[in-house]
């Protein structure tokens, strides 16, 4: 039996007014992938931040190879052979990919000048190991989010860590990139490297993990051998109940009325003309590989990217959308792909983030009606089951899933009738995902229309009344709910048939 290289015993973490972790014990064996699962806010990120030295534990003990340690900061964690890849990338956007990979350990000549030749040799080795085919001299901000994620993985590998923690590493990876990542994990496992793997996609857990530990409300519920447990049992242990199928509340009843029409639209980031129709009371899914132009299309519709040519019609009337303010006035709501960069006001609290698009309805003579604001926000928080201590709580202190719910609450409190959801359930646990799907169904029942982008094929197939598929900035096909299959969608997304595994994610 492999020896235990990490033990976290009775870890407790208290924040003002809340206990995030309560007597959590977790261990990791040499050459093992130990998955950590739970709902948003269950304590997963808090536990790995303690291991990575980003925050300090309140109580408990940590042992590395049998020796007790007190991890005081991230550098100390790295010194102990631990590398943490956080869900939110920790990279320097103005530096090159190579500089990011070796940041903090750049080879130098005469202790002054960066030895770029050695840097290139080392980073090329790491990129080759990951199958990362990019220009390593390119500025990081010019890379796609998926490529930046792989740079983060390469950075962790550069530290020669014996314990690698991955928090939602697959959230922005294509199937090919995910397969490469799994290949690297399996290769490193054979070399005795151990992994803590966090993912909301349970199919990945069954694919890659040896054991899985379930957290709920800051406490360990149970640790399973993956070979001895089924997915429904893990889900029930995570949420404390069975999850009903999310499409139960979504009846396909698309009307023939066109609420939104895009005619020969091009933008600063979308060079091929795009034509698209959205009907009243439908969920229109947009599928495609990473970089297919899906996000660029919806950003142009919402006014976030400059439109170069073409026109937008709402209920048959041509409209001008030069900015998101114009789109909001016309009844659009937008949940962006990158919630922290493009969705949230990170220095503001929950209330301010929810009401920012709806100030007119809670104000009088330029003054906010505080009682009305509190009532509206509290109602939305309750409706979406957002976990927080106070509606005045800073948005930074919420888990990723609860931050996503805050963005949804913002648009539910507005006059939006056309919703654009770009990866609405990325980084969301199974219970919250089901809840968001049901919410989308209720919006449709109330006469709204939804454009949804998702890199998860099962989600696209389950939720969409109609699916358009994009490839290299062009729409390559359209499928209705009855004729859409995984094979057909992937064939249109790649313009050729390919083989794929059952972790069906673009």
Q: For the segment 300-317, what is each residue's pLDDT rounded down to a tens digit?
A: 999 999 999 999 999 999
Name the average pLDDT for the chain: 85
Virtual CA dihedral for 219, 225, 229, 234, nearest 10 degrees?
20
The enclosing H or E element of 25 equals strand 18-29
Work out whether the CA dihedral 453, 454, 458, 459 comes out positive or negative: negative
* Cβ 372 vs Cβ 360: under 8 Å: no
Rounded Cα–Cα distance for residues 84 and 147 (Å): 18
Taking 80 as the threshold, does the pLDDT of residue 291 lie above it?
A: no
Taking 50 as the threshold, does the pLDDT of residue 501 lie above it?
A: no
Q: What is the pLDDT of residue 2?
A: 81
Q: Where are the beta strands (DSSP E) in 281-436?
A: 283-288, 307-314, 317-319, 332-335, 363-364, 367-368, 418-422
Rounded Cα–Cα distance for residues 66 and 325 (Å): 58
Rounded Cα–Cα distance for residues 85 and 154 (Å): 10
Out of 57-71, 173-187, 196-210, give the one with best mean pLDDT. 57-71
Taking 60 as the threshold, does the pLDDT of residue 275 lie above it?
A: yes
Roughly what angle, to the nearest 10 degrees, separates helices 430-445 and 400-412? 10
* Cβ 387 vs Cβ 45: under 8 Å: no
Rounded Cα–Cα distance for residues 172 and 338 (Å): 10
Q: What is the DSSP letter of 476?
A: E
* Cβ 259 vs Cβ 280: under 8 Å: yes
Q: Would you give the distance in Å from CA 40 to the centre of its chain?
A: 12
Q: What is the pLDDT of residue 505?
A: 47
Q: What is the pLDDT of residue 184?
A: 83
Strand 4-15 relative to strand 59-64, pairing: antiparallel
Q: How sure is the predictor about 504, in pLDDT bands with cuts at 50, 70 and 90?
A: very low
Q: Would you give the distance in Å from CA 401 to the centre of its chain?
A: 9
Q: How sure is the predictor about 39, in pLDDT bands with cuts at 50, 70 and 90?
A: confident
Q: What is the pLDDT of residue 248?
A: 47
Rounded Cα–Cα distance for residues 238 and 240 (Å): 6
* Cβ 152 vs Cβ 103: under 8 Å: no
Tokens (6 digits) for 502:
């059952």
**Mean local confidence (pLDDT), 473-487:** 87
Rounded Cα–Cα distance for residues 171 and 148 (Å): 12
Q: What is the pLDDT of residue 253?
A: 52
Taking 80 as the threshold, does the pLDDT of residue 10 lie above it?
A: yes
Tokens (6 digits) for 444:
């449709």
- Residue entry with tokens 């080795």: 125
pLDDT tens, residue by residue, 146-160 = 788 788 888 888 888
Q: What is the pLDDT of residue 226?
A: 94
pTM: 0.63
pLDDT tens, residue by residue, 316-348 = 999 999 999 999 999 999 988 777 777 787 888
Q: What is the pLDDT of residue 362?
A: 74
Task: Please state which CATH class domain 4-239 belongs to.
Answer: alpha beta
Fold of 256-331+417-498: Rossmann fold (3.40.50)
pLDDT tens, residue by residue, 110-121 = 777 877 888 888
Taking 80 as the threshold, does the pLDDT of residue 461 lie above it?
A: yes
- Identify which has the larger pLDDT, 495 or 439: 439
Domain ranges of the chain: 4-239, 256-331+417-498, 347-414
Residue 140 dihedral angles phi and psi, to the nearest 5° = -55, -40
pLDDT tens, residue by residue, 397-429 = 887 778 888 888 888 877 889 999 998 887 677
Instruction: Assign 481 to helix, strand or coil.
Output: coil
- Identify which has the larger pLDDT, 377 or 56: 56
* Cβ 417 vs Cβ 331: under 8 Å: yes
Rounded Cα–Cα distance for residues 83 and 162 (Å): 8
Residue 125 dihedral angles phi and psi, to the nearest 5° = -60, -45
- Return the exposure string of 399-424: e unless at least 16 CB atoms fall within 10 Å of the residue's CB, then b: bbbbbbbbbbbbbbbbebbbbbbbbb
pLDDT tens, residue by residue, 251-271 = 455 568 999 999 999 999 898
* Cβ 493 vs Cβ 289: under 8 Å: yes
**Mean local confidence (pLDDT), 375-391:** 85
Q: What is the pLDDT of residue 12?
A: 95
Reported for 98-105, long-range contacts at CB under 8 A and 24+ positions apart, including other chains, are 98/123, 98/136, 98/137, 100/140, 100/151, 100/155, 101/126, 101/136, 101/151, 101/154, 101/155, 101/158, 102/155, 102/158, 103/155, 105/158, 105/159
Q: What percent of the chain has pLDDT over 90?
A: 36
Residue 101 dihedral angles phi and psi, to the nearest 5° = -60, -40
Q: Where are the beta strands (DSSP E) in 307-444?
A: 307-314, 317-319, 332-335, 363-364, 367-368, 418-422
- Beta carbons within 10 angstroms of residue 150's beta carbon: 27
Comparing 4-239 with 256-331+417-498, is the CATH topology the same?
yes
Task: Report the candidate in 46, 55, 53 with the shortest Cα–Cα distance to residue 20.
Answer: 46
Q: How sure is the predictor about 241, in pLDDT bands with cuts at 50, 70 and 90?
A: low
Q: What is the pLDDT of residue 254?
A: 54
Tokens (6 digits) for 349:
């609290």
Q: What is the pLDDT of residue 311?
A: 95
Q: What percent of the chain has pLDDT over 70?
A: 92
């Amino acid at each position: 039996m492999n020896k235990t290289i990490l033990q976290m015993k009775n870890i407790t973490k208290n924040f003002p007014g809340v206990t995030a972790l309560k007597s959590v014990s977790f261990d990791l064996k040499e050459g093992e992938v130990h998955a950590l699962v739970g709902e948003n806010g269950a304590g997963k990120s808090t536990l790995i931040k303690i291991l990575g030295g980003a925050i300090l534990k309140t109580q408990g003990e940590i042992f590395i190879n049998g020796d007790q340690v007190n991890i005081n900061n991230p550098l100390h964690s790295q010194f102990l052979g631990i590398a943490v890849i956080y869900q939110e990338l920790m990279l320097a956007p103005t530096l090159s990919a190579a500089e990011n990979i070796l940041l903090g350990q750049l080879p130098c000549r005469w202790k002054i000048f960066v030895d770029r030749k050695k840097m290139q040799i080392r980073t090329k080795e790491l990129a080759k190991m990951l199958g990362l085919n990019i220009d390593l001299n390119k500025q990081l901000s010019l890379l796609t989010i998926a490529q930046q994620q792989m740079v983060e993985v390469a950075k962790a590998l550069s530290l020669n860590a014996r314990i690698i923690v991955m928090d939602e590493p697959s959230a922005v990876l294509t199937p090919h990139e995910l397969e490469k990542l799994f290949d690297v994990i399996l290769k490193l496992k054979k070399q005795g490297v151990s992994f803590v793997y966090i993912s909301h996609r349970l199919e990945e857990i069954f694919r890659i993990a040896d054991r899985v530990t379930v957290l709920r409300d800051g406490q360990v519920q149970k640790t399973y051998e993956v070979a001895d447990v089924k997915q429904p049992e893990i889900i029930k242990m995570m949420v404390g109940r069975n999850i009903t199928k999310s499409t139960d509340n979504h009846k396909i009843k698309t009307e023939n009325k066109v609420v939104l029409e895009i005619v020969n639209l091009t933008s600063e980031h979308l060079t091929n003309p795009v034509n698209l129709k959205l009907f009243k009371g439908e969920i229109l899914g947009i599928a495609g590989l990473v970089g297919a132009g899906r996000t660029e299309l919806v950003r142009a519709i919402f006014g976030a990217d400059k439109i170069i040519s073409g026109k937008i019609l709402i209920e048959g009337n041509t409209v001008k959308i030069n900015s998101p303010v114009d789109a909001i006035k016309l009844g659009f709501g937008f949940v962006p792909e990158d919630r922290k960069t493009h969705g949230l006001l990170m220095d503001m609290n929950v209330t301010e983030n929810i009401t920012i698009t709806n100030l007119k309805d809670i104000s009088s003579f330029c003054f906010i009606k505080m009682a009305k604001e509190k009532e509206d926000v509290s109602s939305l928080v309750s409706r979406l089951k957002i976990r927080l201590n106070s509606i005045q709580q800073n948005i930074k202190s919420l888990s990723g899933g609860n931050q996503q719910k805050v963005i949804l609450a913002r648009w539910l409190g507005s006059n939006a009738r056309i919703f654009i959801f770009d990866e609405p359930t990325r980084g969301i646990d199974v219970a919250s995902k089901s809840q968001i799907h049901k919410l989308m169904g209720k919006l449709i029942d109330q006469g709204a229309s939804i454009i949804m982008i998702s890199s998860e094929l099962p989600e696209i197939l389950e939720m969409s009344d109609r699916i358009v598929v994009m490839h290299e900035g062009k729409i390559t096909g359209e499928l209705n709910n009855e004729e859409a299959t995984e094979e057909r969608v992937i064939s249109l997304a790649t313009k050729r048939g390919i083989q794929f595994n059952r972790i069906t994610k673009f």
